[in-house]
Amino acid sequence: MNQQRNRVRIIGGDFRRRLLTFPDSSGLRPTPDRVRETVFNWLGQTLRGKRCLDVFAGSGAMGFEAASRGAERVVMVEKSRLVADALRANRQALGAEAIDVQCADALGFLRGCRERFDVVFVDPPYDSELLDAVLPLLPTVLAPQATVYIEDRAWRSFDGWTELRKGKAGAVNFGLLTLAE
């Protein structure tokens, strides 16, 4: 494992400045600090009482940030057993009891999920069609007025969704959506 490359620092909340390590895995790229800072400014610095879902958890950067900022529950879904084990080890090291790591396929998890979430983070591998596959499954897991974070290589309009905010940092296009009324 490349220790320099495979680390991410939590930037806010109770776990601020703590380093998380994660294994090499195809398509895994943590959301950059600058993007996370912007997104959590948009969402509000505290997520107290919020239930969050990190659909393609990867390094766990977004989910750990949410837990650090007081989220009541954070479910991280990660398909790779190796990466899910690393997420569990980081959860244990931080004592982040609000986090529940599920080693599962994102699409299968969403189809079977009966929980409702206030904030959902969707950051699939860029070279996949998973974003388009996930979006139609989200309405069944969203609480009223839920916010969905999307990260992709290019920004576009999303049918059935209202764009709340969007930004770009380097090659990362990101934004917040809510269900259209």
pTM for the model: 0.92
- Sequence-distant (≥ 6) Cβ neighbours of residue 96 within 8 angstroms: 15, 64, 67, 68, 74, 90
Which tokens go with 5? 């490359």
What's the pLDDT score for residue 27? 59
From 58, 54, 77, 55, select the one nearest 134 (Cα to Cα): 55
| pLDDT number for residue 67 | 96
> So what's the pLDDT on residue 176?
96
The answer to whether 90 and 118 are in contact (CB under 8 A) is no
Token pair for residue 160?
């059935």
Task: In whole angstroms, give the CA distance from residue 24 to residue 62.
Answer: 18
Which pLDDT score, from 0 to 100, does residue 1 have?
42
Order of all β-strands in the sheet with 172-179: 99-103, 73-78, 51-54, 117-122, 142-152, 172-179, 161-169
15-38 confidence digits (pLDDT tens): 989 888 877 766 566 677 788 899
- In this structure, the dihedral spanned by the alpha carbons of residues 88, 90, 91 and 96, taken in order and rounded to 10 degrees, is 180
Determine how many CB atoms are found less than 10 A away from the CB of residue 38. Answer: 15
Domains of the chain (ranges; CATH) run 7-179 (3.40.50.150)
**3-state class percentages of the chain: helix first, strand second, coil last, to nearest 5:** 30, 30, 40
The pLDDT assigned to 3 comes to: 46
Work out the mean pLDDT of the chain and round it to a whole number: 90
Residue segments in the chain with a per-residue pLDDT below the cut of 70: 1-5, 25-30
